[in-house]
Every structure is written in structure tokens, then in C-alpha cells.
Structure 1
């Protein structure tokens, strides 16, 4: 599938007006669009907590029940570092200094994945072509899950709304031990070629993969033994995988989001890019302070997709500007009040797609 183009609306377009208003907000408020002390203090807490938990588990191993609890807690810290530090850093919104953004983004390398692959898959492909089957790699969970109606239906999908919990739990293991390597050796993400990796990129890929194996496999086995390590690492990886998966899925694969396909003759999407983002993206639990803190604004997914270069700490403020502009242009803004509402909608979406005849 070739990369499609988006419609070019007559000026002033929705996106042009929206960008102007957001720029005016930061100018009049005298604010930078990147992170501030609130974000940096949260980052310090998350990194410190992660390191402390790791050291306690590996070098001062607690009793079994307490160790399992700490493995679950380590999963939450891992997810939160990904949501709050890595994600903003990879988008260049963590700091106004690029080296700080690079450092924040590199937290992903320490956690076993690879920043180069993530930026290509997420920043370049997913953000540009959200929910376009055949291009957006986030929709590719075949043959285990059918996430949109254009995907092939298998008999097992009849039960996908029941077993998806387990599939999502495998994400972290699949990511760090398989999919990064698949992308590296095939030089592709789906059908999209990877950009050329520099010598530094290759060194970082292999250096951090080896470091992660030493830190999360070799050292724990040496200090706690194969059995306890296998149990602890499995608990840690499965819970982290589920948390990471469900947060990203709630933003795009729910009942009210769209999965547009380009015109077969012109290879164009009918909407301009910004309208496409609003049709394919949903917010949830934006009034839940704990959810906002933990998920690093990923529950403000509409704001993030429209302005990925703006740090998530500003999303609650620009949310009001975006909503009012959507009303003015008669553009639907998709939002679920609670996490449980978004989860219920995601399950309903999977159940709808369990029927091979379903169309949106």
C-alpha cells in the first residue's frame, strides 16, 4: 500500500486556525510549549523509584509475596517512565534543549526497546497516518486480533473480546525480544522502509539490547536464581505489557473512532490531516488527576496528536481551545468521561469486529 495524501482544504483551514490560536495562547501566557519543573520533578521521582525497586529486588531480594508486589510496582514505574519521560522526549517536547530530549527518549533503550525504531513507528508512521490499515503498524495484531473492519477475519476472532487481555500482556515481551529485531533485520515497519541507520544507531541498538539482557536477565539470575527470576520477570513483563497496550488502544480503537481508507483511484484521504486526527483519536478520563499524572497526558490523545511537539503538561489548557475550535468548525471531538467507559467501548469495538460481516 502506497502512502496516501490528505485533502487540501480551502483557507483558512481548521488546522491553520487551530495552530494560530494555540500559538497565541503560549505567546500571551509567556510560556514555553515544552516541559517545566512539574514534569522534571515527576521524572526524577519515577526514575528514582524505578532504580530503588530494581536494586531492592535484585540485590536485597524480599520474601516471595512482597517481591511479586514490587515486580508489579516496577511494571507501573516502567509504564509511567514510558508515558511521561520517553514519550515527551521522543517527540522533542520534554525540554527546549535537544540533548535533554535525547536523554529522556533514551530511557526506552534502558528498558529494552529501541528509540530509533520507536520514532519511526510512532512519530513518523502512526502520527501521520493514524488508523489507516496497512500503514499504521499499531493496527497490525494479526492473526490474534482484528482491530478494524478492513482486516481479514479469522475464526478465533469470535472470542477476541474475551482473550484480548492476555494478548495485550504479551506486548512488552514481544516488543523487546522480537519486533525490534524484526524491524532491524527486515529494514521495514510493515510495508514502510526504515530510514537508513547510522553507525551510531547500530551501536546504540546492540549496545542497549545487550545492556538490558545483563541488567534484567543475567544479574537477576546470578543474585536470585533462575526460578525466582523467571517468575518475577514474567509478572513484571506481562503487567507492563498490559498497561502499555490498553492505554494506547483506548485512544484509537474504540467504538466512535474511524479507520479511513484512501480513495482507490486518487490515493487520497477525504479529510485534511487535522480533521483525520480528530476522527481517529479519542480522549478519556481527562478530569481524573491520577490518570493524567500516571499516563503523561496520553488520555489527552486528541491534543497530543494535533500538537505532538507540545509537552503533555499543557494539554489541560489547550484542550479548551481545541474543543471550542471544533465546535466552531462543526468537527466531532471524541471523549469518554472515565477510564472504565473507554475500556467498555474498546471491548464493544472488539466484539463488533468479532463478526466478519461488521462494517463501521
Structure 2
């Protein structure tokens, strides 16, 4: 599939929006990167992860509490991904590149690959959001049909019922399968993988070996295969579901669109900024706990428009984005509560699963 081209702006919306957001930081004399609130989470969440791991593995609480702590480890994995890794990967964690690299490398400690994620998320997903054939985030074939342009199978009629279980498998697939598929196929979906340097290969394999060592080998030696499996699956399924649902609520909902380029010219109808607004949604932006836990990813609109700005600032700049959209008559998709967004996601999966 040829890469689509976005037309240049025919009005001043993009320019005006960028100017207003830039002015906000300039007038308030604040950096667009992370601040003390983010760095507090960057200390607390990894320490919580280490504490829970050490307590479960080396102090062995009773079975019920051990499984509860494993579930909490899964929630902590997701929180580290949302808050620390994600900002680090976008270079918005800190103004210092080495701190961004450390934050981004947390993904490797948790079983993923920052090289593969950068290609999949930064290079492809953010550039070609919701474009079938390019955006790997909406490619769950054959199990799920995420867009009407994808093949339809009989089982998709029920995908709004069984997706809950599939979403739980995300983390397992991520650390045991999808990274390796990208590595050996040299592709992310239909897009060729950027050439890996010797250093990239070494980091990829060393990270995987380290992760499997502390998350599999050590616990299996200590507790046995079945006991480890019970705890690991509790952790992985919990974390996988949370990671999946948060990202899916941002793009696969009823009000989001899935535009495709012209078959002949490969041009998109909308400029890139408007495309992001049409394909992205916010949810539960007034819920302070959700905002804290998901690292501002419930402000997905602001994140897609300004990925280089730390999520700490999304609540403030969302007011600017909303006002500018109103003035230019451009839609701004937002669901007031998380449950509302989930309902919209379920309805969307139902409609796509039944559509021809």
C-alpha cells in the first residue's frame, strides 16, 4: 500500500492552533515536557513494581494475596507504560534526551521492545491514524474486524461479546509473539521495518533474555511451573486488558472515522490535523483518578495533535484545542465518562461486525 498524502491546509486552523498552544507555554513560562507531578509517578510506579515482585517471589504471601498482588503488578505494568514509557518514547518526559531514553527503556524491562514500539506507534500510528492497511493498531485480523474495509468473517458478528477476552491477551502476544514477528519479518504490518543497527539487535535480544529470566525462569525455579503460570497469567491478563481498552477507546468508537486515501492519487480528503481530530476521541477527562492512572491518554486528541508535549499539560491545552475547534467549526470527539466510551466501543464493534 502506497503511503497516503495529506493535503496542505486551506485555512489557518493548524497554524492558529499551534500558535495558541505555543503561546500558552510561553506566557506561563513553563516547559512543555514533564514536571514534578510526572517525576513523582516516575519514582513511585517503578518502586511499586519492584516491591510487589520482590514480595510475591521472595516472601511468598498466601495464595489469595499472591494472586491479588499479581493482578496489581499487571495494573502497575500498564501504569508504567501509560505514564513513563509513553512520554519517554515521544521525547516529552524531559528536556534531557538521556532521561527520555531511560523512561522509554522501561518498556524493555517490562518485556517489550522500544525499537519496535517506536516504529509501530510513533512512525506509523501517529502519522496514519485509523487508515486501514497502515495503522497496525486497528489490525487484529482474523479475530476482530476493526474497520468495514477489512474482510468479514462469520465470527465477527459476535466480536462485541468476545473481544473482552481477546483484549486480555495483548500483553502475552506482545512479549512472546508480535515483537518477534516484526523482528523476523522486517515489517510492521505492511510497512518495512527501519534497518536495525548492531546495537539495536543486541538491545532487543538482551532485553528479552533479561525479562524472561526474572519473570519466568526465576519464579519457575522457586515455585514450579503451574504455580508460576497461575501468577503470571493473572498479571499478564490484567495488564493486557487495561492496556488494550485504554488505547481502543481512543480510536475505535462510534464517532471516530476510518478514512481511506483516493485509490488513484493516494491523497486524503483532510489535512493531517483535521484527520487526527476526526479519528481520535477523549474520554473521562474530568475524572482525576483516571487522568492520573492512564497518563493523560484519555486526552488522546491533545496527544495526537501534540505528541511532543507531556501528558501532564493535556488538561490545560485541551481548553485551547476545544475553543479553536469551535471557532473553525471542526468536530471535537469526547465522551464524558469511561463507561460511555466503553459502550460506544462495544456498539462500534457490533456495527462493524454486522456490516457488509
Shorter-normalised TM range: over 0.9
Unmatched 5+ stretches in structure 2: none
- Give the drift of 1:356: 3.3
Equivalent-residue separation in structure 2 for 1:116 and 1:15 (angstroms)? 30
Partner of 2:10: 10
Aligned to 1:225: 224
Match of 2:206 in 1: 207
8 Å CA contact 1:113, 1:175 repeated in 2: yes
Deviations 1:171-208 (A, max 9, x none): 00001100000000111001101111111110100000
Equivalents in 1 of 2:62, 2:77: separation in Å?
A: 22
**What is the rounded CA distance, in whole Å, between the counterparts of 1:95 and 1:181 in structure 2?**
30
1:163 counterpart SS class: helix
Q: Distance in 2 between matches of 1:111 and 1:260?
A: 34
Distance in 2 between the 1:288 and 1:328 partners? Answer: 26
Q: TM-score scaled to structure 2, two decimals?
A: 0.99
Cα distance in 1 between the residues matched to 2:11 and 2:56: 58
Aligned to 1:142: 141
Other-structure match for 2:248: 249
- Once the two structures are superposed, residues 198-256 of structure 1 have per-residue CA deviations (whole angstroms, 9 ceiling, x without a partner) of 11110100000000000100011112221110100011111111000000000000000
Q: How does 1:299-314 map to 2 (within 5 A)?
A: 299-314=298-313
Partner of 2:124: 125
Count of paired positions: 356
Residues in 2 aligned to 1:312 and 1:9: alpha-carbon distance in whole angstroms: 26
Deviation at 1:10, TM superposition (A): 2.6
Contact 1:61 1:224 in 2 (8 A): no
In 2, distance between residues paired with 1:42 and 1:186? 36
CA distance in 2, matches of 1:49, 1:166: 27
Matches within 5 A, 1:149-298: 149-298=148-297
Q: Distance in 1 between matches of 2:14 and 2:101?
A: 28
The whole-number CA distance in structure 2 between the counterparts of 1:178 and 1:265 is 35
Distance in 2 (CA, whole Å) between partners of 1:267 and 1:227 is 52
Q: Distance in 2 between matches of 1:27 and 1:143?
A: 48
Q: TM-score, normalised by structure 1?
A: 0.98
- Equivalent position SS for 1:106: helix
C-alpha displacement of 1:67:
0.5
SS in 2 for 1:132: coil
d(CA) in 1 for partners of 2:291, 2:231: 28
User: Aligned equivalents of 2:157 and 2:37: distance in 1?
Assistant: 45
**Aligned counterpart, 1:87:** 86
Q: How far apart, in 2, do the equivalents of 1:53 and 1:221 lie?
A: 17
Secondary structure in 1 matching 2:329: coil
In 2, the alpha carbon distance for the partners of 1:262 and 1:56 equals 52
SS in 2 for 1:354: helix
Once residues 147 and 111 of structure 2 are traced to their aligned partners in structure 1, the CA distance between those partners, rounded to angstroms, is: 29
C-alpha displacement of 1:11: 4.6
Give the secondary-structure state (helix, strand or coil) at the position aligned to 1:269.
coil
Q: Distance in 1 between matches of 2:11 and 2:144?
A: 40
Cα deviation, 1:103-142, whole Å, max 9, x if unaligned, reads 0000000000000000000001000000000000001000
Deviation at 1:9, TM superposition (A): 2.0
* Deviation by residue 1:127-181 (Cα, 9 ceiling, x = unmatched): 0000000000001000000011111100010110000001101100001100000
- C-alpha distance in 1 between matches for 2:99 and 2:351: 44
What SS is found at the alignment partner of 1:43?
helix
| Match in the other structure for 1:101 | 100
